[in-house]
Chains A and B, each alone.
Chain A
Amino acid sequence: EADIYQTPRYLVIGTGKKITLECSQTMGHDKMYWYQQDPGMELHLIHYSYGVNSTEKGDLSSESTVSRIRTEHFPLTLESARPSHTSQYLCASSDLTDYGYTFGSGTRLTVV
């Protein structure tokens, strides 16, 4: 049973629209991450957070923004969606041990 939830699972939206992808976890993890996964499967870290009011940009430059006002919630926002933003977005969380990440099921975004 998933302890990290992403909504929506699928989203088709027009160019120029503002969208927010939701990610919530019930495990009390301090660290949360957003990955963009391209059709070739490769994962690119775009944002991460080590706790409330902490956000950092990842390895891949992204026009999206994130916030971390509550431990359990880490939403990602695109102010003006473009076709180049079409991708799968994966949210993950971890604690301070070596147990690795727990991933959500992802949001598949299509911008037309």
Chain B
Amino acid sequence: GDSVTQMEGPVTLSEEAFLTINCTYTATGYPSLFWYVQYPGEGLQLLLKATKADDKGSNKGFEATYRKETTSFHLEKGSVQVSDSAVYFCALSDRGGGNKLTFGTGTQLKVEL
């Protein structure tokens, strides 16, 4: 079945550092890929998405590129802020499976001054 693997957290960075959170996936078809962010005490918010190979999703300085050859969708940001501290979830949607999302286990990011 479909699966998503994320790097383990927590990830602790200093403000203005470069961020990478790795995400790889296994899927039988051609899924859409997503990154969600969850701030403390809140639900998940869609951060960015990509629907086909080589697409780049971007939002709020975050980027991720759909790499079919390496089955990856790594999240990057050039300069993190304290306000980026949150839990980040990678997810895929198998269009053949009724658009149900399969989530990774989440990666907690802590950004310090």
Residues of A within 8 A of B (CB): 6, 31, 33, 40-43, 45, 48, 50, 90, 92, 94, 96, 98-106
Main secondary structure of the interface of B (DSSP, over half): strand
Min CB distance A53 to B, Å, is: 17
Contact assessment for B44 and A103 in the assembled complex, using a CB-CB cutoff below 8 Å: yes
- Measured CA separation A33–B93 after assembly (Å): 14
Complex Cα distance, B106 from A103, in Å, reads: 16
Are B43 and A98 within 8 A (Cβ)?
no
Interface size class on chain B is: 20 to 34
Rounded to whole Å, the gap between the CB of B106 and the closest CB of chain A is 4
Expressed in whole angstroms, the Cα–Cα distance for A64 and B62 within the complex equals 37
Of the candidates B43, B46, B98, the one whose C-beta lies within 8 Å of that of A105 is: B43
CB–CB B108/A41 < 8 A: yes
Give every chain A residue within 8 A of B100 (Cβ-Cβ). 33, 45, 48
